[in-house]
Amino acid sequence: MVTFFFMLGVIMLLAMVFDLSERLTDFIQREAPVQAIIFDYYLSFIIYFGNMFSPLITFVAVIWFTAKMAQNSEIIPMINSGRPFRRILRPYMLGATILMLISLFMNHFVLPITNRNLLEFEEQYYRNVRSVSNYFAEFPSNQIVYFDSYRSDRNNAQGFVVEQRTENDDVVSILRAKQAEQDDSTKRWLLNDYFIRYFGETNDSIVVGTGMVLDTIFPFSIKELTQRESVVRTMGFYQIRDFIELEKKKGSANIAKYEIELYQRTSFPFANYVLTLIGMAIASRKTRGGIGANIAAGLFLAFMYIFAMKVTAVAAENVGFPSYIAVWIPNIIFGVIGLFIYRIAPK
């Protein structure tokens, strides 16, 4: 545990230094307060990335700690004393359980709060202008919304269209506007150069407002239409679940990404068990090449684990592979590998 927290501190310190060197110019140009940089950004930064990489840091800590014990001939006397190998493994799994529970708590209760502070800071002091092109969504009120483009610095959508349909998917009306914006204080929409066509059983009617502004209300906001994909990181378990259901009704193309974010909050902490088992089984063998060979073998498996996570995530996003299966497959595959290495480890 001491090795884990020491490595976590060193890696996060290095990550902060590299990140600060990259973003310092933006902080100065946008006059970000020092207090906001420290508490709103870097405190959230450490919590987010520290929790994200905690299973891999656990793996490296186990490899390093156990390999040092093996090279100092501390593992061999334990085995020669007649104690089973699983008894030596027990404190490792106890440590992995503590870290897993901490990670679960952070994922579901702490990170949504700190991520909100992090994203709000980035939005205000770091991120470039947000733009959205060719947006399309269907809302539960049978309204289909799409627009050509949006820029956050102008806070308006160009080529804005709203189609109202019935439950039978019959078109009731089509509203088009050259430009649409929403007043943040009143939440009312202002549509410039609008055109409305109403469809009837016998005849249609058309309302043309060239050069005029239509003041109206919609059951959605412009921020909802143009929010970043990373907004799910600020949501709790129930919030993100409801958000996914709403996005499914809209026909969003990012459902798999949102589901992966939801399911990984539970699956990723369990990687502590898998990587601890693999690391202990590999590093407990004393080799002539010293601890370097053990660390190299461990890092190779760690990279393979990360690669497997990326492959399954891409399969879920682009091929339609079930997201809840995709996030657990790396744990299952490397769990089997860990059991195999454990069985052939010197006992």
* pLDDT digit string, tens, across residues 264-283: 999 999 999 999 999 898 88
Q: What is the mean pLDDT of residues 303-323?
A: 85
157 and 116 inside one domain: no
Q: What is the mean pLDDT of the chain?
A: 87
- What pLDDT is recorded for position 132? 84
149 and 185 inside one domain: yes
- Which of 209, 225, 241 is a domain's end point? 225
Residue with structure tokens 């929010």?
227
121 and 209 inside one domain: no
- What pLDDT is recorded for position 112? 92
156 and 183 inside one domain: yes
- Which of 159, 190, 225 is a domain's end point? 225
Asked if residue 240 belongs to a domain, the reply is: no
pLDDT at 129 over 80: no
What is the C-alpha to C-alpha distance for residues 265 and 104, in angstroms, rounded to an integer? Answer: 7
What is the C-alpha to C-alpha distance for residues 129 and 116, in angstroms, rounded to an integer? Answer: 19
Residue with structure tokens 């088992």?
277
Closest CA to 337 of 269, 267, 275: 275
Domain of residue 193 covers 131-225
Asked if residue 232 belongs to a domain, the reply is: no
Q: For the chain, what is the domain count? A: 2
10 and 77 inside one domain: yes
What is the C-alpha to C-alpha distance for residues 61 and 55, in angstroms, rounded to an integer? Answer: 10
pTM for the predicted model, two decimal places: 0.80
Asked if residue 241 belongs to a domain, the reply is: no
Q: Which two tokens stand for residue 183?
A: 């007043």
Q: What is the mean pLDDT of residues 131-149?
A: 85
- What pLDDT is recorded for position 289? 64
| CA angle, 113 then 114 then 120, to 5° | 95
